[in-house]
Amino acid sequence: MFALITGAAGQDGWFLADQLLARGWRVRSTSLAESDFAPDHRARDGELGCLDVTDAALVTSTLEELRPDVIFHLAGLSSVGGSWARPADYLTANTVGTCTLLAAVNQLRTSGIDHPFIVNASSAEVFAEDAPLPFSETTPLNPLNPYGVSKVAAQFMLGAFRAQGLLGSNAILFNHESHLRPATFVTGKIVRGVARIHAGLADELVLGNLAARRDWLHASDVAAAMIAIADRRAAQDFVVASGVSRTVGDFVAAAFASVGIANWQDFIRTDPALLRATDAPELRGDSSLLTATTGWRPQRQFEEWVGEMVERAPLDD
Ligand code: GDP
């Protein structure tokens, strides 16, 4: 089997390629520029390449040349907070990019050529925040930030092409983390702060909303879910979540506990400047459709992977 991964230079591309290569797949990992890939990525088996998914001619020629069996579409901009500063860029990268890719795949389909199955990485930010929890595939969509809007539009676009006969799924991913998370995400920030405090290099960690609840998964479990969807060629949408939500404070407590610090409150300062104007109080998903369809369940245990993130956190940024 041959997988094309778009936007592969980030966290999710790393775990996806790892698991696909371990199963004997051929993998082409692409990003806007080859220099986006970290040295670890270069050292690994698998092919690296450039692909701007908003470039229709390039997407078409790449698909015609490679003829992958599956496309894992991860390319896009991914910061919820950051999307307010560049809303049009988010629509271009996430919505126009997905649309361009889908149109190119659909062109193969209408030409009678076997077309790749697409797994489109979507996000829990698509849901209406005031909808009853947990969120499932039937929860109303009502995004409240440009990132969420861009993802909803991409999801609908896939649905529209699917109605034409294209095979693909939206994987609606809840927050998923690993040692590859940058400090722009709260988990990456927390584990760096805890590691520095534990090493005696800092004495406080400044955060915003500690009460927000998120359904955090490890990124390797999310990669396994996307592969399970591709394996089954299950052309429908799936929520990918752990089913458990924890507060940002719970995450902080677990990170400190992993290095033997119980009095975590003593090291935390909250700064109102870090609060968001709109911030979902709780995101929690129900993956029972995915579990029933593919057998997927998360394998990693929360405290264990949070501890691993702290252990692997860089001390110098
Ligand atoms: P998001 O859910 O995709 O926006 O992922 P983040 O990791 O950026 O944020 C998760 C939650 O942590 C949100 O509710 C934030 O408001 C909250 N949070 C609290 N303090 C911070 C902080 O210092 N940085 C970030 N990025 N988020 C924070």
Average pLDDT, the chain: 96
* CB 214 less than 6 A from any atom of ligand 1: yes
d(CA 28, CA 86): 29
What CATH number does the domain containing 204 carry?
3.90.25.10
Task: Flag whether 316 is in a domain.
Answer: no
d(CA 4, CA 67): 9
Task: Flag whether 285 is in a domain.
Answer: no
- Are 204 and 90 members of one domain? no
Task: Flag whether 291 is in a domain.
Answer: no
Based on the residue annotation, tell me whether 29 is a catalytic residue of this protein: no
Nearest atom within ligand 1 for CA of residue 210:
19
d(CA 173, CA 115): 24
The protein residue with its alpha carbon nearest to ligand 1, atom 3, reads 80
- Are 159 and 79 members of one domain? yes
Average pLDDT score over residue span 95-111: 97
239 Cα to the center of ligand 1, angstroms? 21
Task: Flag whether 195 is in a domain.
Answer: yes
- Are 70 and 114 members of one domain? yes
What CATH number does the domain containing 94 carry?
3.40.50.720
Burial 118-142 (b: 16+ CB within 10 A, else e): bbbbbbbbbbebeeebbbbbebebe
d(CA 123, CA 74): 11
The beta strands (E) that lie in the chain are given as: 2-6, 26-31, 47-50, 70-73, 117-123, 168-173, 176-177, 205-207, 213-214, 217-218, 238-240, 246-247, 268-270
Task: Please write the tens of the pLDDT for every residue from 132-169.
Answer: 999 999 999 999 899 999 999 999 999 999 999 999 99
- Are 205 and 225 members of one domain? no
- Are 195 and 260 members of one domain? yes
Task: Please write the tens of the pLDDT for every residue from 117-132.
Answer: 999 999 999 998 889 9
Asked if residue 317 has pLDDT above 70, the reply is: no
Based on the residue annotation, tell me whether 147 is a catalytic residue of this protein: yes
- Are 222 and 192 members of one domain? no
Instruction: Work out how many domains the chain is built from and give that number.
Output: 2
* CB 124 less than 6 A from any atom of ligand 1: no
- Are 154 and 72 members of one domain? yes
Task: Flag whether 22 is in a domain.
Answer: yes
Q: Which residues, in sequence order, are CB contacts of 145 under 8 Å at separation 6+?
A: 80, 83, 84, 125, 278
Based on the residue annotation, tell me whether 137 is a catalytic residue of this protein: no
Q: Residue 274's domain spans which residues?
A: 178-214+244-279+301-311
Query: In this prediction, what percent of the chain has a pLDDT beyond 70?
Result: 100
Task: Flag whether 187 is in a domain.
Answer: yes
- Are 63 and 129 members of one domain? yes
d(CA 304, CA 162): 39
pTM, rounded to two decimals: 0.96
Asked if residue 24 has pLDDT above 90, the reply is: yes
- Are 10 and 21 members of one domain? yes
- Are 137 and 220 members of one domain? yes
Nearest atom within ligand 1 for CA of residue 79:
3
* Torsion region of 258: left, alpha or beta (phi above 0 gives left; psi -120 to 50 gives alpha): alpha
